[in-house]
Amino acid sequence: MDTFSRLIDSFPCSKLNVLCVWPRYYSKYPPLGLLKLSAYHRLRGDMVQLVRPPEIPEFTPDVIYVTSLFTYAWEKVKEAVGYYRHLFPGKPVVLGGIYASLMPEHAQEEIKPDYIWRGIVSELEEILPDYSLVPGWKGSIVFTSRGCIRNCPFCAVPVLEPDFVCRSSVGDLINKKYNQAIFWDNNFLASPYHQEILEELINIKKAKRYFQIDFNQGLDARLITPDNAAAIASLRMSVVRLAYDSTCHRKALKRAIDMLCEAGVSKKRFVVYAMFNFEDTPDDFLSRVQDLLSWGVAVYPMRYQPIDALKKDSYVAPGWTPELLEMVADARRVLGVHGAWPSYEALKRKFLDAPDLRSALILRKPKEVVAI
């Protein structure tokens, strides 16, 4: 199947009842692909409904689109497909999304949809998502670029979006009703248009004082410059996300943090993702955590999962043990704020004074309550 419109033409009627299925895996964000599909079909005059199992639609669908997310959430996708197939036997099921794109053979074997859509749907790139399907959601989700200039060995982006393609403007992707825009660009600063887009955002903020921005996938520290730092500092961003995945980026990251701080970004706003359980060792991870806490920024430990993992948290890298990985998870739960370790004095001392990661992660047992 070459293009999306050819897929649509293969369905038996001209006006369609379109069922968009969002499987019941955890997701903080609405299913953008389905919202775009909905907008596309509504423009054709089709009826669309979004459901999560066990919700039952008000019509009998002519086509059932099911999205997918992380590979390790595939069983929820299988459940969703099985459920709606049972309700509407014989109706074509189209499976798309990240898992379907990364592991089409596995999806075919386990889920057996009628069609698997791999990668992005280029016909939907310019379309505004149909946010009416998620009435509680109050933000624009935008991509001003696809792909990435880098080829990090742990990342799915080079497989999912092999070409780096950029838009020169963001204006028409932002829904004017909302006070926030969430950028899902994999590497926003790699776009040759990023400075112009930052200026656009500054202008929107002038008109809408409370307009919030989130570069949700993080900013590439190696691409921070005095100009983009100044523009970033003048936006309303509750979090500035960066990454520290390898000690070889130490100098570039410190330079980026300093540059952003000089431009006016408060240290409290930084959250730096620190991947572990990849090719690092526990000592290497500890030294990155120590760097970040000593620089006064929050650390968000991020456990590496292979891009084809079928079970979450099942991979243990050489040098790591399941017990140590569990200790990191516990320390995030107990010491963390929304999963991150802030650079609070006591926490900083705990990590900076520790001879090794295990000692840093030991949690004090709660005091016993003595009955009087």
Q: Residues interacting with ligand SF4, by CB under 6 A?
A: 148, 150-152, 155, 157-158, 186-187, 220
Reduced to 3 states (helix: H, G, I; strand: E, B; else coil), residue 28 is coil
Q: Which is nearer to ligand SF4, 151 or 248 (CB)?
A: 151
Residue 295: CB minimum distance to ligand SF4, A: 21
Six token digits for residue 117: 């859509």
Residue 356: CB minimum distance to ligand SF4, A: 28
Residue 306: CB minimum distance to ligand SF4, A: 14
CA 20, CA 31: separation in Å to the nearest integer?
A: 10
Residue 220: CB minimum distance to ligand SF4, A: 6
For 179: left if phi > 0, alpha if psi spans -120 to 50, otherwise beta; the answer is alpha
Reduced to 3 states (helix: H, G, I; strand: E, B; else coil), residue 242 is strand
For tokens 């992660």, the residue is: 361
| C-beta of residue 284 within 8 angstroms of C-beta of residue 247 | yes
Q: Which is nearer to ligand SF4, 234 or 247 (CB)?
A: 247
Residue 342: CB minimum distance to ligand SF4, A: 24
CB 145: neighbour CB atoms within 10 A? 24
Least Cα distance to 301 among 349, 330, 345, 340 occurs for 340
Reduced to 3 states (helix: H, G, I; strand: E, B; else coil), residue 3 is coil
Pairing verdict, β 212-215 and 180-183: parallel
Q: Name residues whose C-beta falls within 8 Å of residue 294's C-beta, 6 or more positions apart in sequence.
A: 343, 348, 352
Residue 58: CB minimum distance to ligand SF4, A: 40
Residue 12: CB minimum distance to ligand SF4, A: 40
Least Cα distance to 37 among 86, 82, 95 occurs for 95
Q: Which is nearer to ligand SF4, 52 or 222 (CB)?
A: 222
Give the residue ranges of DSSP H helices in the chain: 4-9, 32-44, 74-87, 98-102, 104-110, 157-160, 194-207, 226-233, 250-263, 282-295, 322-335, 345-352, 357-361
Q: Which is nearer to ligand SF4, 302 or 310 (CB)?
A: 302
Six token digits for residue 20: 């968009």
The C-alpha R_g of the chain, in whole angstroms, comes to 23
Q: Which is nearer to ligand SF4, 223 or 230 (CB)?
A: 223
Q: Which is nearer to ligand SF4, 78 or 146 (CB)?
A: 146
Reduced to 3 states (helix: H, G, I; strand: E, B; else coil), residue 192 is coil
Q: Which is nearer to ligand SF4, 107 or 242 (CB)?
A: 242
| C-beta of residue 107 within 8 angstroms of C-beta of residue 74 | yes
Q: Which is nearer to ligand SF4, 62 or 220 (CB)?
A: 220
Residue 166: CB minimum distance to ligand SF4, A: 14
Residue 270: CB minimum distance to ligand SF4, A: 17
Q: Which is nearer to ligand SF4, 87 or 152 (CB)?
A: 152
For tokens 């891009």, the residue is: 307
